[in-house]
Amino acid sequence: MVSVDADDPATPLKAQVEAGNVTMDVADIETSQAIRMCDEGLLEPIDPALLPAAPDGTLAVDDFLPGALTDCAVASILWTTAVAYDTTKFEGNAPTSIANFFDVANFPGKRGLRKGAKINLEMALMADGVPAADVYATLATPEGVAQAFAKLDTIKGDVVWWEAGAQPPQLLADGEVTMTTAYNGRIFNAIANENKPFKIMWDGQVLDYDLFVVPKGAPNKDAAMQFIAFATDTQRLADQATWISYGPARKSSAAFVGLFKDGKTDMKPHMPSSPENMTNALFNDVVFWADHDIQLNEQFNAWLLK
């Protein structure tokens, strides 16, 4: 077996398919990349009929969460970008809503944000009072984009920008920031394995999937399909929650989510998809980002330079 270890395997995957020298059979990539690469003919279509049904007999197409099955990809985990904070810095005055994140006067301290347009613009709009359901419709208009940047302007001087997923827990631990956006699994890891006084505030979280794909021209295509069918069955998806707090992409897996590997932490409340965490949540709109990724990131970078 050849293992290609990359921050984002979409880059080597595109290079391998374009060069006609594919060594990967399965890759794990983000939704926006999965949709885009599928449309560009870089991935093999995956027949959902290959995927096993849930234990109660529900067909795979009905069992996966909305958006978790696409023409060329099968989601494995559901992860989220949410606000995490250091509980010791907000004793008696814990932030409860995404608007608090943008309120430096009442919730003092530096903020950590990922350096990029995606998710920051959505959170800015939600903090500005735009309902989650209207966020992408608003962002599609120039006024909506201006509104989002105006909201970001209010905390621009207090932001520490991060790029890699490992940075936010580090920034929190170092006291560089008091609140930061972060991937929930990283924060859970810091809480469960390193006993850090962090807490995730689920309000305004932006959810996304990681998906298995098979590159076009994969050397062991059939075996790859079998692997994906095995790895995304109900039990397997529930099992991976033993290791990190990323949610299973099947509805039927939720009941099988058990304890963390330490044998005592119940993983259910740490799942981004738990009902009590989903009161104000947004699913990343990949079609929107496929259309506006470049334009909005250019604007974002120009805004940073100002």
Q: Is 161 in the site for another protein (CB under 8 A)?
A: yes
Q: Is 141 in the site for another protein (CB under 8 A)?
A: no
Residues 6+ apart with CB under 8 A from 78: 65, 68, 207, 208, 209, 246, 247, 248, 249, 271, 272, 273
Q: Is 174 in the site for another protein (CB under 8 A)?
A: yes
Q: Is 36 in the site for another protein (CB under 8 A)?
A: yes
54 vs 155 by CB, closer to another protein: 155
Q: Is 38 in the site for another protein (CB under 8 A)?
A: yes
Q: How far is the CB of 78 from another protein (least distance, A)?
A: 21
Q: How far is the CB of 117 from another protein (least distance, A)?
A: 10
Interacting span for another protein (CB under 8 A) from 173-181, 195-203, 225-233, 259-267: 173-181
- Token look-up 């940075």 returns 167
Measured CA angle at 191 (ends 189, 193), to 5 deg = 55
Q: Is 159 in the site for another protein (CB under 8 A)?
A: yes
DSSP letters, the chain, are ------SSTHHHHHHHHHHT----S-EEEEHHHHHHHHHTT-B----GGGSPPPTT---HHHHBPTTSEETTEEEEEEEEEEEEEEGGGSTT----SHHHHT-TTTS-S-EEEESSSTTHHHHHHHHTT--GGGHHHHHTSHHHHHHHHHHHHTTGGGEEEE-STTHHHHHHHTTS-SEEEEEHHHHHHHHHHH---EEEEEEEEEEEEEEEE-BTT-TTHHHHHHHHHHHTSHHHHHHGGGTS-PEESBGGGGGG--B-TTSS-BSGGGSTTSGGG-TTEEE--HHHHHHHHHHHHHHHHHHHH-
Q: How far is the CB of 47 from another protein (least distance, A)?
A: 15
Interacting span for another protein (CB under 8 A) from 5-13, 125-133, 182-190, 255-263: 5-13
Q: How far is the CB of 191 from another protein (least distance, A)?
A: 20
142 vs 263 by CB, closer to another protein: 142
Q: How far is the CB of 305 from another protein (least distance, A)?
A: 5
Q: How far is the CB of 130 from another protein (least distance, A)?
A: 19
Q: What is the total residue count of the chain?
A: 306
Question: Which of positions 90-119 make contact with another protein (CB under 8 A)?
Answer: 110, 115-116
Question: Which of positions 278-297 make contact with another protein (CB under 8 A)?
Answer: 287, 290-297
Q: Which of 175, 197, 219, 269 binds another protein (CB under 8 A)?
A: 175
Helical packing angle, 142-153 and 286-305, nearest 10°: 50
Q: Which of 90, 227, 256, 303 binds another protein (CB under 8 A)?
A: 303
11 vs 88 by CB, closer to another protein: 11
84 vs 257 by CB, closer to another protein: 84
Q: Is 47 in the site for another protein (CB under 8 A)?
A: no
Q: How far is the CB of 177 from another protein (least distance, A)?
A: 9
Q: Which tokens is 107 given?
A: 């919730």
202 vs 289 by CB, closer to another protein: 289
Binding site for another protein (CB under 8 A): 7-8, 10-11, 14, 33, 36-41, 45, 110, 115-116, 140, 159-161, 163, 174-176, 287, 290-299, 301-305
